[in-house]
Amino acid sequence: MDGKPSYYPQSWQKINKRWKARISRANYILGLADVIDFKEDLLANLVLIQNALVQTCIGMLCVFWEYQPSYTSLPYLIHLCGNFCDFPEDILLNTSFESQRIYYLITHAQQHINYTCPLKVTEKDTEKAYHLCTRFIAEAENITEHHLDYLRMKSFQRNKPLHYKSS
């Protein structure tokens, strides 16, 4: 072996199938956040956005590390994704006060809907969170598709077959 990783085609197909399921679910959840009118309860919209981000991060972890976390806190997943790409921090973790506030609202949306929210959530906050999530998912799709292409190339272009008969 030349020290480079080799992959089985079945492994690539399994990873690709998991990614497609996760990103499809994330897009569906994000679509719900866009279609349904949440003027009554803006926190419900933030919970949908949070769930879309969680699905995207879990899908990326499956593709890049073949890892399925049992703990799915959004800050934890973003931290893990930050180990193989820079865009989660670039998109979600800006240094501006407004950006940090939106990140806090997204990551704590489930707690805020179950209990009381100490902050006033406006329609502008949910719109900004929606656009950040849209950017995040688009960038995740782009980077992950490139990595899946790399894995497919590695799995289908081998120098010698895995199983061969000796003469």
pLDDT in tens, the chain (167 residues): 444 555 677 888 899 999 999 999 999 999 988 776 666 678 889 999 999 999 999 999 999 998 988 888 999 999 999 999 988 888 888 888 888 999 999 999 998 888 877 788 888 999 999 999 999 999 999 999 999 998 888 887 765 555 555 55
| Sequence-distant (≥ 6) Cβ neighbours of residue 8 within 8 angstroms | 155, 162
Cβ–Cβ < 8 Å for 123, 39: yes
Q: What is the pLDDT of residue 148?
A: 92
Following DSSP, what letter does each residue of 57-100 receive, concatenated?
HHHHHHHHH----S---HHHHHHHHTTT-SHHHHHH--SSHHHH
77, two tokens: 């997943």
Q: 6, 158 in Cβ contact below 8 A? A: yes
CATH class of residue range 9-156: mainly alpha
DSSP 108: T
The Cα–Cα gap between 115 and 109 comes to: 10
Q: Which two tokens stand for residue 16?
A: 């690709």
Angle between helices 9-35 and 42-65 (to 10 degrees): 170
Say what the pTM is.
0.86
What is the separation of C-alpha 167 from the centre of its chain, rounded to a whole number of angstroms? 49
Give residue 1's pLDDT.
40
For position 4, what pLDDT does the model report?
A: 52
